[in-house]
Chains A and B, each alone.
Chain A
Amino acid sequence: MPTVKEILSTMDYGPAPESDTHVKAWLDQHADGFRHFIGGAFVPSSDGTVFEVFNPARDTLLAKVATGTGQDIDAAVRAARAAFPAWSASPGHVRARYLYALARQIQKRERFLAVLETLDNGKSIRETRDIDVPLVARHFYHHAGWAQLLDSEFPGHTALGVCGQIIPWNFPLLMLAWKIAPALAAGNTVVLKPAEFTPLTALAFAEICSEIGLPRGVVNIVSGDGATGAALVEHPEVNKIAFTGSTEVGRIIRKATAGSGKKLSLELGGKSPFIIFEDADLDAAVEGVVDAIWFNQGQVCCAGSRLLVQEGVRDRFLMKLRRRMDTLRVGDPLDKSVDMGAIVAPVQLERIRALVEQGVSEGGTLWQSAGHLPAKGSFFPPSIFIDVEPAATVCEVEIFGPVAVMMSFRTPDEAVQLANHSRYGLAATIWLENINRALETAAKLKAGVIWINSTNLFDAGAAFGGYRESGFGREGGREGLIEYLAPAFLKPSASGAPAFKRAASAPVVPTPVATAFQAGEPHIDRTAKLYIGGKQTRPDSGYSYAVHGTKGETIGLAGLGSRKDIRNAVEAAAKASAWSSASAHNRAQVLYYIAENFAARAPEFKARLQALGHSQAEANAEVETAVRRMFFYAGYADKYDGRVHATKARHLTVALHEAFGVVGIVCPEASPLLAFVSLVMPAIAMGNRVVVVPSTLCPLLATDFYQILDTSDVPGGVVNIVTGERAELSKTLADHDEVAALWFAGPQAEVEAAERSSAGNLKYVWAIPGETMDWGADEAGQGVTYLRQATQIKTIWVPYGE
Chain B
Amino acid sequence: MTSQTQILQKEPAPPITALTAASHNGTLRIMIKPSKSKSKSGKSAADAAASVQAAPPISSALSLVANPHGSAFPRATGCKLNLDWFESIQVNATAAETRAATLTTRRTVKKEYQAAWLVRALQCVDLTTLAGDDTPGRVHRLAAKARRPLREDIVAALGLAETPPKVGAVCVYPTMVGPAVRALQGSGIPVASVATGFPTGLTPLPQRLAEIKYAVDMGAGEIDIVINRAHVFSQDWSALYDETCAMREACGAAHMKAILATGDLKTLRNVYKASMVAMMGGADFIKTSTGKEDVNATLPVSLIMLRALRDFGDYTGQMIGFKPAGGLRTAKDALNWLILMKEELGLRWMQPDLFRIGASTMLSDIERQLEHYVTGRYAATTHHALA
Interface residues of A (CB under 8 A from B): 1-16, 126, 130, 279-284, 287-288, 312-316, 319, 327, 336-337, 339, 431, 433, 453-454, 650, 799-802
Q: Which residues of A contact B107 (CB under 8 A)?
A: 13, 336-337
Nearest 4 CB-CB pairings of A with B: A14-B113, A284-B95, A7-B116, A315-B4
Q: A7-B117, A280-B92, A319-B8 are in contact. List 18 more A-B contacts (CB 8 A).
A: A3-B112, A6-B21, A8-B21, A11-B116, A14-B113, A126-B106, A130-B105, A279-B90, A281-B96, A282-B90, A283-B307, A314-B4, A327-B346, A431-B92, A433-B90, A454-B94, A801-B93, A802-B93
Instruction: Assess whether B307 is in contact with A8, with CB atoms less than 8 Å apart.
Output: no
Which residues of chain B in 341-387 are interfacial with respect to chain A, using CB atoms and an 8 Å cutoff? 342-343, 346-347, 350
Instruction: Assess whether B7 is in contact with A316, with CB atoms less than 8 Å apart.
Output: yes
Judged by DSSP, the binding face of B is helix
Residue of A nearest to B117 (CB): A11
Q: Which residues of A contact B90 (CB under 8 A)?
A: 279-282, 433
Instruction: Assess whether B109 is in contact with A281, with CB atoms less than 8 Å apart.
Output: no
Instruction: Assess whether B95 is in contact with A281, with CB atoms less than 8 Å apart.
Output: yes
Instruction: Assess whether A319 is in contact with B24, with CB atoms less than 8 Å apart.
Output: no
User: In the complex, A15 Cα to B110 Cα: how many Å?
Assistant: 7
Residue of B nearest to A799 (CB): B94
Q: Which residues of A contact B158 (CB under 8 A)?
A: 4-5
Q: How far is the CB of A283 from chain B (nearest CB, A)?
A: 5
Instruction: Assess whether A14 is in contact with B99, with CB atoms less than 8 Å apart.
Output: no
Q: Which residues of B contact A280 (CB under 8 A)?
A: 90, 92
Instruction: Assess whether B113 is in contact with A12, with CB atoms less than 8 Å apart.
Output: yes
B62 within 8 Å of A (CB atoms): no
Instruction: Assess whether B94 is in contact with A9, with CB atoms less than 8 Å apart.
Output: no
B20 within 8 Å of A (CB atoms): yes
Which residues of chain B in 1-51 are interfacial with respect to chain A, using CB atoms and an 8 Å cutoff? 4-5, 7-8, 18-21, 24
Q: Which residues of B contact A10 (CB under 8 A)?
A: 347
User: In the complex, A312 Cα to B314 Cα: how many Å?
Assistant: 17
Q: How far is the CB of B47 from chain A (nearest CB, A)?
A: 27
A sample of 27 cross-chain residue pairs with beta-carbon separation below 8 angstroms, ordered by A number, consists of A1-B112, A3-B112, A4-B115, A4-B116, A5-B160, A9-B21, A10-B347, A11-B116, A11-B120, A11-B338, A14-B111, A14-B112, A14-B113, A16-B109, A126-B106, A279-B90, A284-B96, A284-B99, A287-B95, A313-B4, A336-B107, A433-B90, A453-B92, A453-B94, A454-B95, A799-B94, A801-B93
User: In the complex, A685 Cα to B7 Cα: how many Å?
Assistant: 53
Q: How far is the CB of A647 from chain B (nearest CB, A)?
A: 13
Residue of A nearest to B118 (CB): A4
Instruction: Assess whether B21 is in contact with A801, with CB atoms less than 8 Å apart.
Output: no
With A4-B112, A339-B106, A800-B94 in contact, is A9–B20 under 8 Å at CB?
A: yes
User: In the complex, A735 Cα to B24 Cα: how many Å?
Assistant: 74
B98 within 8 Å of A (CB atoms): yes
Q: How far is the CB of A221 from chain B (nearest CB, A)?
A: 31
User: In the complex, A576 Cα to B174 Cα: how many Å?
Assistant: 75
User: In the complex, A3 Cα to B109 Cα: how many Å?
Assistant: 14
With A8-B24, A9-B21, A313-B4 in contact, is A14–B95 under 8 Å at CB?
A: no
Residue of B nearest to A433 (CB): B90
Q: Which residues of A contact B307 (CB under 8 A)?
A: 283
User: In the complex, A13 Cα to B335 Cα: how many Å?
Assistant: 11
B119 within 8 Å of A (CB atoms): yes
Q: Which residues of A contact B333 (CB under 8 A)?
A: none
User: In the complex, A14 Cα to B342 Cα: how many Å?
Assistant: 13
User: In the complex, A748 Cα to B323 Cα: how many Å?
Assistant: 73
B234 within 8 Å of A (CB atoms): no
Q: Which residues of B contact A800 (CB under 8 A)?
A: 94
User: In the complex, A192 Cα to B237 Cα: how many Å?
Assistant: 63
Of listed B94, B268, B346, residue having the most chain A CB within 10 A: B94
Q: How far is the CB of A266 from chain B (nearest CB, A)?
A: 31
* Chain B 80-106 near chain A by CB (<8 Å), digits 1 or 0: 000000001011111111110010011
Residue of A nearest to B103 (CB): A287
Across the interface, A4 reaches (CB within 8 A) one of B8, B159, B314, B343, namely B159
With A279-B88, A319-B8 in contact, is A11–B112 under 8 Å at CB?
A: no
Q: Which residues of B contact A431 (CB under 8 A)?
A: 92
User: In the complex, A259 Cα to B19 Cα: how many Å?
Assistant: 72
With A11-B347, A14-B112, A287-B99 in contact, is A5–B4 under 8 Å at CB?
A: no
Q: How far is the CB of A88 from chain B (nearest CB, A)?
A: 41
B53 within 8 Å of A (CB atoms): no
User: In the complex, A3 Cα to B91 Cα: how many Å?
Assistant: 41
Instruction: Assess whether A801 is in contact with B159, with CB atoms less than 8 Å apart.
Output: no
User: In the complex, A650 Cα to B99 Cα: how many Å?
Assistant: 16
User: In the complex, A2 Cα to B114 Cα: how many Å?
Assistant: 12
Instruction: Assess whether A5 is in contact with B110, with CB atoms less than 8 Å apart.
Output: no
Instruction: Assess whether A281 is in contact with B108, with CB atoms less than 8 Å apart.
Output: no
Instruction: Assess whether B350 is in contact with A11, with CB atoms less than 8 Å apart.
Output: yes
Residue of B nearest to A8 (CB): B116
Instruction: Assess whether A650 is in contact with B94, with CB atoms less than 8 Å apart.
Output: yes
Instruction: Assess whether A454 is in contact with B98, with CB atoms less than 8 Å apart.
Output: yes
User: In the complex, A689 Cα to B372 Cα: how many Å?
Assistant: 72
Q: Which residues of A contact B98 (CB under 8 A)?
A: 287, 454
Residue of B nearest to A311 (CB): B4
User: In the complex, A527 Cα to B109 Cα: how many Å?
Assistant: 83
Of listed A14, A288, A327, A431, residue having the most chain B CB within 10 A: A14
Across the interface, A14 reaches (CB within 8 A) one of B8, B110, B338, namely B110
Which residues of chain B in 169-196 are interfacial with respect to chain A, using CB atoms and an 8 Å cutoff? none
Q: Which residues of A contact B96 (CB under 8 A)?
A: 281, 284
Residue of A nearest to B5 (CB): A315
With A281-B91, A313-B4, A802-B267 in contact, is A7–B24 under 8 Å at CB?
A: no
User: In the complex, A280 Cα to B90 Cα: how many Å?
Assistant: 6
User: In the complex, A14 Cα to B117 Cα: how many Å?
Assistant: 11
With A11-B117, A287-B98, A454-B95 in contact, is A3–B159 under 8 Å at CB?
A: yes
User: In the complex, A3 Cα to B158 Cα: how many Å?
Assistant: 8
Residue of A nearest to B347 (CB): A11
User: In the complex, A802 Cα to B108 Cα: how many Å?
Assistant: 29
Q: Which residues of A contact B24 (CB under 8 A)?
A: 8
Across the interface, B113 reaches (CB within 8 A) one of A7, A281, A315, A319, namely A7
Instruction: Assess whether A453 is in contact with B159, with CB atoms less than 8 Å apart.
Output: no
Q: Which residues of A contact B163 (CB under 8 A)?
A: 5
User: In the complex, A1 Cα to B7 Cα: how many Å?
Assistant: 42
User: In the complex, A602 Cα to B26 Cα: how many Å?
Assistant: 99
Instruction: Assess whether B108 is in contact with A4, with CB atoms less than 8 Å apart.
Output: no
Q: Which residues of A contact B94 (CB under 8 A)?
A: 453-454, 650, 799-801
Q: Which residues of A contact B267 (CB under 8 A)?
A: 802
Instruction: Assess whether A801 is in contact with B97, with CB atoms less than 8 Å apart.
Output: yes
Q: Which residues of B contact A283 (CB under 8 A)?
A: 307
Q: Which residues of B contact A281 (CB under 8 A)?
A: 90-92, 95-96
Across the interface, A5 reaches (CB within 8 A) one of B18, B92, B159, namely B159
Q: Which residues of B contact A802 (CB under 8 A)?
A: 93, 267-268
Instruction: Assess whether A288 is in contact with B95, with CB atoms less than 8 Å apart.
Output: yes
Of listed B4, B95, B159, residue having the most chain A CB within 10 A: B95
Q: Which residues of A contact B105 (CB under 8 A)?
A: 126, 130
Q: How far is the CB of B171 from chain A (nearest CB, A)?
A: 23
Residue of A nearest to B339 (CB): A13
Q: How far is the CB of A511 from chain B (nearest CB, A)?
A: 67
Residue of A nearest to B344 (CB): A327
Q: Which residues of B contact A2 (CB under 8 A)?
A: 112
User: In the complex, A319 Cα to B310 Cα: how many Å?
Assistant: 12
Q: How far is the CB of B199 from chain A (nearest CB, A)?
A: 24
Instruction: Assess whether A5 is in contact with B21, with CB atoms less than 8 Å apart.
Output: yes
Instruction: Assess whether B106 is in contact with A453, with CB atoms less than 8 Å apart.
Output: no
Residue of A nearest to B18 (CB): A9
Q: How far is the CB of B368 from chain A (nearest CB, A)?
A: 17
Of listed A279, A280, A316, A339, residue having the most chain B CB within 10 A: A316
User: In the complex, A126 Cα to B160 Cα: how many Å?
Assistant: 33
With A337-B107, A800-B94, A801-B94 in contact, is A315–B115 under 8 Å at CB?
A: no
Q: How far is the CB of B381 from chain A (nearest CB, A)?
A: 22
User: In the complex, A14 Cα to B107 Cα: how many Å?
Assistant: 10
Q: How far is the CB of A472 from chain B (nearest CB, A)?
A: 31
Q: Which residues of A contact B112 (CB under 8 A)?
A: 1-4, 7, 14
